[in-house]
Every structure is written in structure tokens, then in C-alpha cells.
Chains A and B, each alone.
Chain A
Amino acid sequence: GENVEQHPSTLSVQEGDSAVIKCTYSDSASNYFPWYKQELGKRPQLIIDIRSNVGEKKDQRIAVTLNKTAKHFSLHITETQPEDSAVYFCAASMGTNAGKSTFGDGTTLTVKP
């Protein structure tokens, strides 16, 4: 089955700096890659996603890049703010797999004011 590895497990940055989280996946059939943010005590919520026909997607301060050949994708957060502090999960899924996702282990991001 699919295996998703996520790095780093923890990341601490100064407010205003950029943060980058990287994930690799094993199954070349995966074609959908969402990123979720989970604040303490709350449910995971989608922040951005990318499909395999696209190499990059941006939404204000958040961007995701995908390299299908290398089977890795990354989350980039610019101009970080304290409210960006949370756990971030990457995931991979296949359209043929009835919506099932495999999640990375998560990255705890701390933005210091």
C-alpha cells in the first residue's frame, strides 16, 4: 500500500520567516495530495491541495509544489504568523481508491513572536 513520509517532525521559526514541510510518497498511482492543519484539540482541516496534473499551487501565503518524478511534494508558508502554529499533515490518495488517504506523521510548527 501507499507509504507517506513527512519531514521534519518539528519546526520552529521566527514570525515573518518562511516554513517548508516536505513529504514523499511511494505509490506512483497516487494523484491527489492534500495538506491539513490541526490546531490543538481541533479536527484536521484542509488548507491547500494539489492534483497530479499540476506542479504548483498557491493560495495567499501558502503554496504547495509537486514533483511526480521524484514522488515528493512540499508545503511552503511565507511570512509566518503565530496563528500558523499547529500540526500539519500531508496526505496522498488515488482517485480509484474510493477516497482513502494515507497520512504523513505530521509536523508540529511553532512560530515564535
Chain B
Amino acid sequence: GAGVSQSPSNKVTEKGKDVELRCDPISGHTALYWYRQRLGQGLEFLIYFQGNSAPDKSGLPSDRFSAERTGESVSTLTIQRTQQEDSAVYLCASMGQGRTPLHFGNGTRLTVT
């Protein structure tokens, strides 16, 4: 595909349920990032994967958040026992080699009721 693909585009869930968000990066991009954007705010870094290295999880807000990546392809972000403050747009981005900019997907809008 031409760009970063995320699914679902929208997700409404009840408080306390688990959700999984999916990201397909641009083919050949070795680095993959997850960001969160709350309403009216800038993007907050959550986690990134670079090749086979251990992921940088320093932005994950709590142990309810986790992410996995299979090789250099698909990644899933899992939020367990969702809370209302988890409501946000979750954006995935990938990056090629060297000093190149991030390419973002369209995001998943998560609403926790």
C-alpha cells in the first residue's frame, strides 16, 4: 500500500473493556511509532519499534497499555480495562532509514463510554 494504514478508523467501547488497534506501516519502513492525540492537544509519544531492537516504551501512560510488532510489519496497540481518559485519536507512523520524516496513518478514534 502507498501509506500507513490503521484499523479500525473508529472504535466505541464500554469502560472496562479491552481494545486492540492495528497499524500496517509503509512497506520497507523499519521504524514504527504510536502516538496519542487527545482532543485539542498535540501528539504524545507512546512507543516505538526499530527493527529487532527492544521497543522504547517510555511514553506508555500505564501498564494497561502495551504494543507488539511482528518483524518489520504489522503492529497492534492494546489497551486493557479502558478508562474514559483513554478516549483519544491513536496515530501510528512509520519511518524509513536515515533522517527522514514520519509518515502518519489516519488514526483510530477511540471513544470510551
The yes or no verdict on A and B being binding partners is no
The interface of chain A, by Cβ under 8 A from chain B, is none
